[in-house]
Chains A and B, each alone.
Chain A
Amino acid sequence: DVKVTQSSRYLVKRTGEKVFLECVQDMDHENMFWYRQDPGLGLRLIYFSYDVKMKEKGDIPEGYSVSREKKERFSLILESASTNQTSMYLCASSFLYGQGDTEAFFGQGTRLTVV
């Protein structure tokens, strides 16, 4: 079974803190994605990566950065957390499009609250 694991289910951080959200997958997927999910807004893509050390901005990258030092791990970094970053964060992984099964597999989500 494909497993995508996010390091925390729930997280509470203070405004201005640097926050790390970790995601690990065990299927040797090239692609990894970070989304935030807010009611009425669906899933919005923050960043994605298609290879180690490669990253691409999604639709809402402001206030976030990412790191992919190893193929299996993709970290989302909030440099200075703000209350408007309170949200559910979802990590996903998949093979490169057109190579093998194309669907993305998701982690269980991290509900981040910034106070």
Chain B
Amino acid sequence: AQKITQTQPGMFVQEKEAVTLDCTYDTSDQSYGLFWYKQPSSGEMIFLIYQGSYDEQNATEGRYSLNFQKARKSANLVISASQLGDSAMYFCAMRGLQKLVFGTGTRLLVSP
């Protein structure tokens, strides 16, 4: 069975600061992928970043980086230099084979 756990229902950060959103996962698959999505108040789901289980380097996409610790089964999202537009729900997700499962999400609020 696959499971994603996001333990932070809400996070606050000041503009220009960095923030880490936590994600742990559980799977028996050897090959799997980890994803982060952003959902602003408009409701659309925006793909941010992907990490494959066999990737040796942590994924980065602009201000987003994924802190992948395989032994700990964690895949935390780091947003550097937060902006007001980063205020949104953030979902961690995992897929092994063909199933894609999501966590419960973290609501991030960026204050001026």
Contact = CB atoms under 8 A, between A and B. Distances in A.
B43 A109 contact: yes
B104 A45 contact: no
A48 B103 contact: no
B44 A106 contact: yes
A41 B104 contact: yes
Interface in A16-50: 31, 33, 35, 40-45, 48, 50
Interface string B70-96: 000000000000000000000101011
A97 B27 CA distance: 15
Interface stretch (A69-77, A79-87, A88-96): A88-96
A48 B31 CA distance: 19
A43 B35 CA distance: 14
B48 to A, nearest CB: 9
B45 interface: yes
Contacts of A94: 100
Contacts of A33: 100
A95 to B, nearest CB: 10
Contacts of B101: 45, 58-59
Contact of A48 (B6, B91, B98): B98
Question: Interface majority SS on B: helix, strand, loop or mixed?
Answer: strand
A100 interface: no
Contacts of A35: 102
B98 A40 contact: no
Contacts of A58: 99, 101
Interface string B33-49: 10100000001110100
Contacts of B45: 90, 92, 106
Interface of A: 31, 33, 35, 40-45, 48, 50, 56, 58-59, 88, 90, 92, 94, 96-98, 102-106, 108-109
Interface of B: 6, 9, 31, 33, 35, 43-45, 47, 50, 52, 91, 93, 95-105
The 4 closest A-B pairs by CB, nearest first: A42-B104, A106-B45, A43-B102, A103-B47
